[in-house]
Amino acid sequence: MRIAGVGSAFPQHYYKQEVLVEALKNDWRHRLPNPEILDRLDESMKVDGRFTARPISFYEDMTRWGQANDAWIEVGLQIGEEALCCALAWARIEPRDLSAIFFTSVTGIAAPSLDARLANRMGLSPNIKRIPIFGLGCVAGAAGISRAADYVRAYPKQAAALLSIELCSLTLQRDDLSMAHLISALLFGDGAAATVVFGDERESSGPEILATKSILYPNTERVMGWDISEKGFRIVLSPEVPDTVLRHLGKDVDQFLAEQGLCRSQIRSWVMHTGGPKVLEATATALGITERELEASWECLRRVGNLSSTSVLLVLEDVYKHRRPEPGTLSILAAMGPGFCSELVLLRW
Protein backbone atom coordinates (compact mmCIF):
# COMPACT_ATOMS: atom_id res chain seq x y z
CA MET A 1 0.00 0.00 0.00
CA ARG A 2 1.22 3.49 -0.79
CA ILE A 3 0.23 7.07 -0.03
CA ALA A 4 -0.33 8.30 -3.57
CA GLY A 5 -1.37 11.90 -2.91
CA VAL A 6 -1.87 14.51 -0.19
CA GLY A 7 -3.68 17.84 -0.34
CA SER A 8 -4.92 20.58 1.97
CA ALA A 9 -7.24 23.59 1.94
CA PHE A 10 -8.14 26.40 4.32
CA PRO A 11 -10.92 28.94 4.84
CA GLN A 12 -10.40 32.39 3.35
CA HIS A 13 -10.00 34.14 6.71
CA TYR A 14 -6.48 34.21 8.20
CA TYR A 15 -5.46 36.29 11.21
CA LYS A 16 -2.17 36.93 12.91
CA GLN A 17 -2.13 35.52 16.40
CA GLU A 18 -1.99 38.94 18.05
CA VAL A 19 -5.25 39.92 16.31
CA LEU A 20 -7.00 36.80 17.58
CA VAL A 21 -5.68 37.29 21.11
CA GLU A 22 -6.87 40.89 21.16
CA ALA A 23 -10.33 39.83 19.95
CA LEU A 24 -10.57 37.24 22.74
CA LYS A 25 -9.42 39.79 25.33
CA ASN A 26 -12.05 42.26 24.18
CA ASP A 27 -14.79 39.64 24.32
CA TRP A 28 -13.79 38.30 27.74
CA ARG A 29 -12.71 41.61 29.28
CA HIS A 30 -15.71 41.87 31.64
CA ARG A 31 -15.89 38.16 32.46
CA LEU A 32 -12.26 37.12 32.78
CA PRO A 33 -10.76 38.51 36.03
CA ASN A 34 -7.37 38.99 34.41
CA PRO A 35 -7.59 39.23 30.58
CA GLU A 36 -3.81 39.72 30.38
CA ILE A 37 -3.44 36.02 31.21
CA LEU A 38 -4.16 35.43 27.51
CA ASP A 39 -0.98 37.31 26.60
CA ARG A 40 1.07 35.19 28.99
CA LEU A 41 -0.47 31.96 27.73
CA ASP A 42 0.04 32.99 24.12
CA GLU A 43 3.77 33.51 24.66
CA SER A 44 4.11 29.74 25.09
CA MET A 45 1.95 28.73 22.10
CA LYS A 46 4.54 29.30 19.34
CA VAL A 47 1.73 30.09 16.87
CA ASP A 48 2.04 32.97 14.38
CA GLY A 49 -1.49 32.90 13.02
CA ARG A 50 -4.54 30.77 12.29
CA PHE A 51 -7.32 30.34 9.76
CA THR A 52 -10.92 30.73 10.93
CA ALA A 53 -14.09 29.45 9.27
CA ARG A 54 -15.76 32.85 9.55
CA PRO A 55 -14.55 36.43 10.09
CA ILE A 56 -14.00 37.51 13.69
CA SER A 57 -17.28 39.42 13.76
CA PHE A 58 -19.22 36.16 13.29
CA TYR A 59 -17.95 34.76 16.60
CA GLU A 60 -19.13 37.82 18.51
CA ASP A 61 -22.71 36.84 17.63
CA MET A 62 -22.28 33.04 17.71
CA THR A 63 -24.62 31.98 20.52
CA ARG A 64 -26.17 28.72 19.30
CA TRP A 65 -24.69 25.31 18.53
CA GLY A 66 -26.90 25.04 15.45
CA GLN A 67 -25.52 28.32 14.17
CA ALA A 68 -21.96 27.04 14.55
CA ASN A 69 -22.80 23.66 13.04
CA ASP A 70 -24.41 25.23 9.99
CA ALA A 71 -21.16 27.12 9.38
CA TRP A 72 -19.24 23.84 9.85
CA ILE A 73 -21.28 22.20 7.10
CA GLU A 74 -21.04 25.12 4.66
CA VAL A 75 -17.33 25.87 5.08
CA GLY A 76 -16.42 22.21 5.57
CA LEU A 77 -17.89 21.28 2.20
CA GLN A 78 -15.97 24.08 0.49
CA ILE A 79 -12.54 23.30 1.88
CA GLY A 80 -13.14 19.54 2.00
CA GLU A 81 -13.79 19.50 -1.74
CA GLU A 82 -10.65 21.58 -2.39
CA ALA A 83 -8.44 19.33 -0.24
CA LEU A 84 -9.76 16.10 -1.76
CA CYS A 85 -9.42 17.45 -5.32
CA CYS A 86 -5.81 18.40 -4.57
CA ALA A 87 -4.99 14.94 -3.20
CA LEU A 88 -6.66 13.25 -6.17
CA ALA A 89 -4.68 15.44 -8.58
CA TRP A 90 -1.41 14.39 -6.92
CA ALA A 91 -2.49 10.76 -7.16
CA ARG A 92 -3.45 11.32 -10.83
CA ILE A 93 -6.88 9.76 -10.54
CA GLU A 94 -10.41 11.06 -11.03
CA PRO A 95 -13.02 11.31 -8.24
CA ARG A 96 -14.99 8.42 -9.75
CA ASP A 97 -11.91 6.17 -9.40
CA LEU A 98 -12.15 6.12 -5.60
CA SER A 99 -13.62 2.93 -4.16
CA ALA A 100 -13.81 4.07 -0.52
CA ILE A 101 -13.70 7.30 1.45
CA PHE A 102 -12.96 7.63 5.15
CA PHE A 103 -14.17 10.94 6.56
CA THR A 104 -13.17 12.28 9.96
CA SER A 105 -14.04 15.36 11.97
CA VAL A 106 -14.61 16.10 15.63
CA THR A 107 -15.77 19.73 15.33
CA GLY A 108 -19.23 19.30 13.81
CA ILE A 109 -21.80 16.72 12.87
CA ALA A 110 -24.20 16.05 10.00
CA ALA A 111 -26.38 13.25 8.66
CA PRO A 112 -25.89 12.54 5.86
CA SER A 113 -22.24 13.12 6.65
CA LEU A 114 -20.11 15.49 4.60
CA ASP A 115 -18.57 12.67 2.56
CA ALA A 116 -22.04 11.84 1.16
CA ARG A 117 -22.66 15.46 0.27
CA LEU A 118 -19.27 15.67 -1.41
CA ALA A 119 -20.02 12.52 -3.38
CA ASN A 120 -22.87 14.39 -5.02
CA ARG A 121 -20.85 17.59 -5.55
CA MET A 122 -17.73 15.89 -6.91
CA GLY A 123 -19.11 13.01 -8.92
CA LEU A 124 -17.75 10.22 -6.76
CA SER A 125 -18.81 6.72 -7.73
CA PRO A 126 -22.38 5.82 -6.66
CA ASN A 127 -20.89 2.56 -5.39
CA ILE A 128 -18.27 4.23 -3.18
CA LYS A 129 -17.97 2.81 0.31
CA ARG A 130 -18.36 5.61 2.88
CA ILE A 131 -16.88 5.31 6.36
CA PRO A 132 -17.51 8.45 8.47
CA ILE A 133 -15.54 8.55 11.73
CA PHE A 134 -16.33 10.70 14.76
CA GLY A 135 -14.68 10.91 18.18
CA LEU A 136 -11.02 10.14 17.45
CA GLY A 137 -9.99 13.79 17.47
CA CYS A 138 -6.29 14.48 16.99
CA VAL A 139 -5.39 10.83 16.45
CA ALA A 140 -7.78 10.43 13.51
CA GLY A 141 -5.37 11.66 10.84
CA ALA A 142 -2.99 8.77 11.54
CA ALA A 143 -5.81 6.32 12.33
CA GLY A 144 -7.58 7.20 9.09
CA ILE A 145 -4.46 6.39 7.07
CA SER A 146 -4.27 3.06 8.90
CA ARG A 147 -7.90 2.22 8.16
CA ALA A 148 -7.49 3.20 4.50
CA ALA A 149 -4.44 0.92 4.37
CA ASP A 150 -6.51 -1.90 5.86
CA TYR A 151 -9.06 -1.39 3.11
CA VAL A 152 -6.66 -1.47 0.16
CA ARG A 153 -4.82 -4.41 1.70
CA ALA A 154 -8.06 -6.33 1.16
CA TYR A 155 -8.67 -4.73 -2.25
CA PRO A 156 -5.21 -4.19 -3.79
CA LYS A 157 -6.53 -2.94 -7.13
CA GLN A 158 -8.48 -0.11 -5.51
CA ALA A 159 -7.88 3.41 -4.16
CA ALA A 160 -9.21 4.82 -0.88
CA ALA A 161 -9.22 8.39 0.40
CA LEU A 162 -9.07 9.88 3.87
CA LEU A 163 -10.61 13.33 4.29
CA SER A 164 -10.20 15.33 7.50
CA ILE A 165 -12.14 18.55 8.08
CA GLU A 166 -11.65 20.39 11.38
CA LEU A 167 -13.12 23.83 12.10
CA CYS A 168 -12.02 24.21 15.69
CA SER A 169 -12.91 27.91 15.91
CA LEU A 170 -16.61 26.97 15.71
CA THR A 171 -16.33 25.13 19.05
CA LEU A 172 -15.59 28.40 20.89
CA GLN A 173 -17.58 28.56 24.16
CA ARG A 174 -17.66 32.21 25.17
CA ASP A 175 -18.83 31.49 28.73
CA ASP A 176 -16.19 28.80 29.38
CA LEU A 177 -13.31 30.46 31.24
CA SER A 178 -11.55 27.24 32.24
CA MET A 179 -7.82 27.03 31.66
CA ALA A 180 -8.37 24.19 29.18
CA HIS A 181 -10.65 26.37 27.07
CA LEU A 182 -8.38 29.41 27.24
CA ILE A 183 -5.53 27.27 25.92
CA SER A 184 -7.66 25.72 23.18
CA ALA A 185 -8.90 29.15 22.08
CA LEU A 186 -5.27 30.21 21.58
CA LEU A 187 -4.01 26.98 20.00
CA PHE A 188 -6.52 25.38 17.64
CA GLY A 189 -7.24 26.47 14.08
CA ASP A 190 -9.28 25.53 11.00
CA GLY A 191 -8.54 23.61 7.82
CA ALA A 192 -8.91 20.39 5.85
CA ALA A 193 -6.56 17.78 4.42
CA ALA A 194 -6.90 14.60 2.39
CA THR A 195 -4.77 11.63 1.42
CA VAL A 196 -5.21 8.97 -1.24
CA VAL A 197 -3.99 5.44 -0.51
CA PHE A 198 -3.36 2.90 -3.29
CA GLY A 199 -3.39 -0.86 -3.07
CA ASP A 200 -0.36 -2.90 -4.14
CA GLU A 201 -1.67 -3.42 -7.67
CA ARG A 202 -1.71 0.32 -8.46
CA GLU A 203 1.40 2.32 -9.34
CA SER A 204 2.58 5.25 -7.18
CA SER A 205 5.87 6.86 -6.20
CA GLY A 206 4.55 7.79 -2.74
CA PRO A 207 5.75 6.25 0.51
CA GLU A 208 4.89 2.61 1.16
CA ILE A 209 2.80 1.79 4.24
CA LEU A 210 4.67 -1.14 5.81
CA ALA A 211 2.72 -1.59 9.05
CA THR A 212 0.31 0.13 11.43
CA LYS A 213 -0.54 -0.20 15.11
CA SER A 214 -3.30 1.13 17.39
CA ILE A 215 -2.79 1.48 21.16
CA LEU A 216 -5.56 2.34 23.63
CA TYR A 217 -4.47 3.28 27.17
CA PRO A 218 -6.84 2.00 29.89
CA ASN A 219 -8.75 4.44 32.10
CA THR A 220 -7.65 7.62 30.32
CA GLU A 221 -11.00 8.82 28.97
CA ARG A 222 -10.73 12.22 30.66
CA VAL A 223 -7.31 13.13 29.29
CA MET A 224 -8.79 14.68 26.12
CA GLY A 225 -12.14 15.00 24.40
CA TRP A 226 -15.44 16.87 24.50
CA ASP A 227 -18.28 17.26 26.94
CA ILE A 228 -21.49 17.89 25.00
CA SER A 229 -23.97 20.44 26.34
CA GLU A 230 -26.88 22.45 24.96
CA LYS A 231 -24.27 24.93 23.66
CA GLY A 232 -22.22 22.32 21.83
CA PHE A 233 -18.67 21.10 22.33
CA ARG A 234 -16.93 21.89 25.62
CA ILE A 235 -13.23 21.02 25.65
CA VAL A 236 -11.73 18.36 27.90
CA LEU A 237 -7.98 18.92 27.89
CA SER A 238 -5.98 17.59 30.80
CA PRO A 239 -2.51 18.89 31.72
CA GLU A 240 -1.59 15.18 31.81
CA VAL A 241 -1.25 15.03 28.00
CA PRO A 242 2.52 15.73 27.85
CA ASP A 243 3.14 13.30 30.74
CA THR A 244 1.10 10.65 28.93
CA VAL A 245 3.29 11.15 25.87
CA LEU A 246 6.43 10.81 27.99
CA ARG A 247 5.17 7.64 29.68
CA HIS A 248 4.03 5.78 26.60
CA LEU A 249 5.25 7.01 23.22
CA GLY A 250 8.88 5.86 23.33
CA LYS A 251 8.19 2.31 24.48
CA ASP A 252 5.20 2.01 22.14
CA VAL A 253 7.32 2.98 19.15
CA ASP A 254 10.09 0.60 20.22
CA GLN A 255 7.67 -2.31 20.57
CA PHE A 256 6.03 -1.51 17.22
CA LEU A 257 9.40 -1.41 15.47
CA ALA A 258 10.59 -4.59 17.19
CA GLU A 259 7.54 -6.37 15.77
CA GLN A 260 8.85 -5.40 12.33
CA GLY A 261 12.42 -6.46 13.12
CA LEU A 262 13.56 -2.85 13.41
CA CYS A 263 14.87 -0.44 16.04
CA ARG A 264 14.44 3.29 16.64
CA SER A 265 17.88 4.23 15.26
CA GLN A 266 16.75 3.04 11.81
CA ILE A 267 14.03 5.71 11.64
CA ARG A 268 15.33 8.78 9.79
CA SER A 269 12.13 10.79 9.37
CA TRP A 270 9.36 11.65 11.84
CA VAL A 271 5.88 12.79 10.74
CA MET A 272 4.27 13.72 14.05
CA HIS A 273 1.01 15.41 15.00
CA THR A 274 1.66 19.01 16.06
CA GLY A 275 -0.14 18.85 19.45
CA GLY A 276 1.28 21.97 21.02
CA PRO A 277 4.70 23.11 22.25
CA LYS A 278 4.62 20.99 25.41
CA VAL A 279 3.44 17.96 23.45
CA LEU A 280 6.14 18.36 20.80
CA GLU A 281 8.80 18.81 23.47
CA ALA A 282 7.53 15.68 25.24
CA THR A 283 7.54 13.83 21.91
CA ALA A 284 11.19 14.70 21.29
CA THR A 285 12.15 13.63 24.81
CA ALA A 286 10.19 10.38 24.63
CA LEU A 287 11.75 9.44 21.29
CA GLY A 288 15.24 10.71 22.07
CA ILE A 289 15.29 12.97 19.00
CA THR A 290 16.10 16.63 18.45
CA GLU A 291 13.78 19.56 17.82
CA ARG A 292 15.25 19.77 14.32
CA GLU A 293 13.98 16.25 13.57
CA LEU A 294 10.47 17.57 14.32
CA GLU A 295 10.97 20.70 12.22
CA ALA A 296 8.02 19.96 9.91
CA SER A 297 5.70 19.61 12.90
CA TRP A 298 6.97 22.80 14.56
CA GLU A 299 6.59 24.70 11.27
CA CYS A 300 3.00 23.51 10.84
CA LEU A 301 2.17 24.56 14.40
CA ARG A 302 3.72 27.98 13.84
CA ARG A 303 1.87 28.64 10.59
CA VAL A 304 -1.67 27.48 11.40
CA GLY A 305 -1.87 26.16 14.98
CA ASN A 306 -3.17 22.73 15.95
CA LEU A 307 -5.92 21.50 13.59
CA SER A 308 -6.82 18.31 15.47
CA SER A 309 -7.00 15.36 13.04
CA THR A 310 -5.94 17.54 10.11
CA SER A 311 -2.56 18.48 11.59
CA VAL A 312 -0.60 15.27 11.05
CA LEU A 313 -1.83 15.25 7.45
CA LEU A 314 -0.50 18.79 6.98
CA VAL A 315 2.87 17.64 8.32
CA LEU A 316 2.74 14.66 5.94
CA GLU A 317 1.95 17.01 3.03
CA ASP A 318 4.94 19.21 3.88
CA VAL A 319 7.28 16.21 4.03
CA TYR A 320 5.71 14.64 0.93
CA LYS A 321 6.07 17.77 -1.22
CA HIS A 322 8.98 19.73 0.26
CA ARG A 323 11.12 17.54 2.55
CA ARG A 324 10.93 14.13 0.89
CA PRO A 325 13.55 11.78 2.30
CA GLU A 326 15.91 9.71 0.20
CA PRO A 327 14.44 6.53 -1.32
CA GLY A 328 14.50 3.70 1.19
CA THR A 329 14.25 6.00 4.23
CA LEU A 330 12.03 4.69 7.02
CA SER A 331 9.56 7.07 8.69
CA ILE A 332 7.16 6.94 11.60
CA LEU A 333 3.89 8.83 11.20
CA ALA A 334 2.08 9.12 14.53
CA ALA A 335 -0.59 10.93 16.47
CA MET A 336 -2.30 10.68 19.87
CA GLY A 337 -5.84 11.61 20.80
CA PRO A 338 -9.03 10.97 22.78
CA GLY A 339 -9.32 7.54 24.26
CA PHE A 340 -6.51 8.21 25.24
CA CYS A 341 -4.75 6.44 22.39
CA SER A 342 -1.93 6.37 19.86
CA GLU A 343 -1.78 5.43 16.21
CA LEU A 344 1.54 4.50 14.61
CA VAL A 345 2.27 4.09 10.89
CA LEU A 346 5.56 2.79 9.50
CA LEU A 347 6.45 4.25 6.09
CA ARG A 348 9.23 3.58 3.61
CA TRP A 349 9.96 6.31 1.07
Where in the sequence numbering do the catalytic residues fall? 138
How many other C-beta atoms lie within 10 A of the C-beta of residue 35?
A: 17
Q: How many residues can be counted in the chain?
A: 349
CA pair distance 38, 179, nearest whole angstrom: 10
Q: List, in sequence order, every beta strand (DSSP E) within 199-238.
A: 208-216, 224-229, 232-237
What is the rounded (10 degree) CA torsion for 36, 235, 285, 193?
-110
Residues 6+ apart with CB under 8 A from 162: 101, 102, 103, 104, 141, 144, 145, 147, 148, 194, 195, 197, 313
Please name which of 164, 144, 147, 207 lies closest in space to residue 1, comparing C-alpha atoms. 207
Residues 6+ apart with CB under 8 A from 184: 168, 171, 235, 237
DSSP, collapsed to helix, strand or coil, labels residue 294 as: helix
CA pair distance 130, 160, nearest whole angstrom: 10
